[in-house]
């Protein structure tokens, strides 16, 4: 089922997708967008979020006939924990995609307070996505508290407008590095992937444009929300 929800700007296209088709539909949308972007430029960019639920999406996407050698994959956010920690998203993300030729551009969490490391990351991103960077597809989740990326309620990073990447305060015992609101809002396409009954209320608030949750800070002109039926119960 496909419908368009009229919300305060921006408009979010909503698709209710059965669980067995959810990852496949997300992969189809992403592959189409990346392939289209490559008709305009030599490289395309995909930013991915962490968590368990997107693993099937990543695995499906890796099977799509995208020219992966021309794709840069970066992280939307990452916990500032030691390399190899099970709390790091990167290990699972790379494993879920499998052996692709894509260029991985991880967030520099091991040097999160080193301006040179952050600048090197931003320079690499701008090389592939322009300056300021416009990411072709940004995959986002939505927390039960309305957070997305690591834009979490009450954190000063919500107000960050001058940097591509920012370090958050403590959230669930760890600091995070996250792409900031302006980067997310400049994305050519934001793809929200949401499932679970605990997401019903935050999805309602997102679609209503409720300024009380961080998710509504994302103002990309093109946004698609793929939700399983339990989200809309």
pLDDT at 1: 43
pLDDT at 86: 85
pTM of the full structure: 0.94
pLDDT in tens, 75-85: 999 999 988 88
Q: Is the dihedral of CA 189, 64, 58, 74 positive or negative?
A: negative
Question: Residue 156's CB: how many other CB atoms inside 10 A?
Answer: 10
What average pLDDT does this structure show over 69-75?
Answer: 98
Domain locations in the chain? 2-232
Eight-class DSSP state of 17: -
Which of the pair, 226 or 86, is modelled with greater confidence?
226
What is the band of 9 on the pLDDT scale with cuts at 50, 70, 90? low
Structure tokens at 154: 């009450």
pLDDT in tens, 159-175: 999 999 999 999 989 99
**Cα separation, 116 vs 136, whole angstroms:** 26
Buried/exposed code over 16-43 (b: 16+ C-beta within 10 A; e: otherwise) = bbeeeebbbbbbebbbebbbebbeeeeb
Helices (DSSP H) in the chain: which residue ranges?
19-37, 55-62, 89-97, 115-129, 181-186, 200-207
pLDDT in tens, 113-144: 888 999 999 999 999 999 999 999 999 999 99
pLDDT at 12: 96
Percent of the chain with pLDDT over 90: 87
pLDDT in tens, 191-201: 999 999 999 99
pLDDT at 7: 38
**Cα separation, 78 vs 99, whole angstroms:** 21
What is the CATH code for 2-232? 3.40.50.1360
Please give the mean pLDDT across all residues of the chain. 93
Does 109 score more than 60 pLDDT? Answer: yes
């Amino acid at each position: 089922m496909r419908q368009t929800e009229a919300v305060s700007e921006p408009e979010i296209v909503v698709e209710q997708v059965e669980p067995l088709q959810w990852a496949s539909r997300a992969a189809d949308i992403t592959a189409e967008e990346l392939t289209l972007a490559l008709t305009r430029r030599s490289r395309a960019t995909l930013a991915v979020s962490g968590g368990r639920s997107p693993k099937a999406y990543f695995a499906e996407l890796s099977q799509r006939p995208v020219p992966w050698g021309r794709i840069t994959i970066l992280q939307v956010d990452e916990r500032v924990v030691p390399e190899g920690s099970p709390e790091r998203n990167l290990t699972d993300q790379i494993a879920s995609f499998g052996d692709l030729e894509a260029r991985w551009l991880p967030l520099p969490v091991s040097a999160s307070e080193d301006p040179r490391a952050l600048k090197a990351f931003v320079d690499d991103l701008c090389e592939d996505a322009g300056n300021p960077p416009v990411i072709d597809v940004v995959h986002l989740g939505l927390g039960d508290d309305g957070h997305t990326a690591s834009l979490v309620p009450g954190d000063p990073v919500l107000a960050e407008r001058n940097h591509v990447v920012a370090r958050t305060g403590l959230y669930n015992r760890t600091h995070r590095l996250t792409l900031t609101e302006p980067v997310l809002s400049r994305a050519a396409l934001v793809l929200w992937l949401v499932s679970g009954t605990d997401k019903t209320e935050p999805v309602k608030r997102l679609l209503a444009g409720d300024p009380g949750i961080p998710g509504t800070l994302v103002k990309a002109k093109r946004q698609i929300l793929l939700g399983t039926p339990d989200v809309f119960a």
